A and B are shown apart, each in its own frame.
Chain A
Amino acid sequence: MATASLVLTDDSTLSKLDRALLRLERAFALISGLAVFGLMVLAVVSVTGRNAFQNPLPGYVDWIEQAMPLIAFMGISWVMREGGHIRMDIVVGQLKGRALYLTELITTLAVLILMVLLVWGSWAHFQRSFDFAAPMWSRDSSMDIALPIWPAKLMAPLAFGVLVARLLLQVWAYGRAVVTGQAIAVPLIADAATQARMEAEQLED
């Protein structure tokens, strides 16, 4: 699990946009982390309520299901920026310079196509659960306490939209790197050992 980041910056517009987007991405990731924390608190409330007061939290499962998309999606673009999504870099790790950037450009374009389609698909999924005319705008509700589901469903196209912006930026950056031979604003491949060292350093206090 390569989680270390190695992104070069400079004074170019591209790099400025990269860092601006990064601020948004980190904020989204922190929301995701806080949602995990919230999940923990929710369980404590539920267990205490049930055992100490004979009064379990109504719709505990429904609330967990509402929180999961926050955890699962919100940080997706940040992890892409840091080059953290898992991949097999046996082949790509052998490449250097323009050949490497060209390969990355192609795979990034492929991811971009997928994510544009998924923004459409997940938006349609949201839309089917949303109705301006209905009470609480809800056309799809959770099983136990009938919470409207559309806010949770909206998280997917929202987070995927930010990822599409990140991918557009990366396509630009790799395209530029193919021309200039210099890659900025994209995660570079450190060799596996460097990567592991950076990962370990993240744990230092």
Chain B
Amino acid sequence: MKRVLTIFIIAFCISISCAHRQERQALEFWHFWTDPQAKPVIEQVVKVFERENPGWKVNLTGLTWADGHQKIVVAFGADKPPDLLELGSDWIAEFAFTGALADLNYDTSGMLLVNNAVLNGRIYGRPWFVDSRVLYYNLDLFDKASVKPPADWNELEQACAAINGLGEGISGFGANSNEPHRLYKKFLPFLWSSGGDITCGSDICLDTKPMHKSLEYYARLARAGRIDSQKNLEDAFVGGKIGVIISGGWLLQRLVKLNPPFEFRLAEMIPEEKNRIGISFAGGEFLVIPAKSANKEMALKLMELLAEKKYSQMLCDSVGFGFPPYRFFAPTDTNKMVLFNQLQNCRIASLHPQWVYIEQIIEDMVEAVMLGEISPAQAIAAAQKKIAETREN
């Protein structure tokens, strides 16, 4: 009898807790932090949020960079977006232009990269986690080739050529190929650092003087080194076989952990001419709220909490790189400082609704020139034509 009673009581409690759970309203949050190290941080913030807002629970869905974009497109297409969503910095325009994102009115002062979420005076996202791309030098190879770390494009090219001439499987510069979403992040900084851009008003204009110049320059750099996938390039750099590559904070973390038998240094992007500034690519994660969300107010609350400096910092610590998106932050490590300083001079690709298509056209263009398939002028003309066709469809 006792046992029956116990079971009854347990069953009763379970049914009550179930009923209680059903009463709580759910907030859907899609994020990309599926790394085993980072996920607990997200879950911790969510717990804090649920404690502060009884009656609400957050449903987490983890996306991956490989096909997360796909899933988001499908969700917006089916009118079933989540309440809060993490987006890569170069996707905001695509969704904002179709009216899929809500206008967030918040105080943006002191925030890094926030301009990348502002379109026509409206704020569509909140920076959450930022990282820049900088140059990594293998100083031992610089010494061996008797060259100094460069200060302008000419010196960079000469340094790479000298290191490349060392032989023994040593390369000067590392250029990217055969991977989507990589090459443009490495190429556009050169365009920007020579005063150019790919946008003119709301259009994409490739046939510009800086573009011709930087495309030719990048192809020359690639010839003073090797063309490979980012993974192979980083492997080769870690193995001491490459003089200069471009990478983000994760490589610094890996290098510090592995402690390779050579001296390395990080440096900000090199400008075309001395005493100008080198501009790099900003990798950023933004939080956005879909316009169709029924719980915008709560989503905004969760967003504020997630983007608090304390939690953003925890996220960076968990993966070992990246910065909270605030200006007043100052790392002590000199190499980390380079990454942080570069953030002050960083751009994202372009605020263009069809960026995912344009990105590939630009990458194909650079790749073809780099491999010597066609001349820069031909490649630029072909790419511009392709972009015009894309817009028509």
Pairing of A with B: no
Using a CB–CB distance below 8 Å, which chain B residues touch chain A? none
Q: Which A residues form the contact surface with B (CB < 8 A)?
A: none
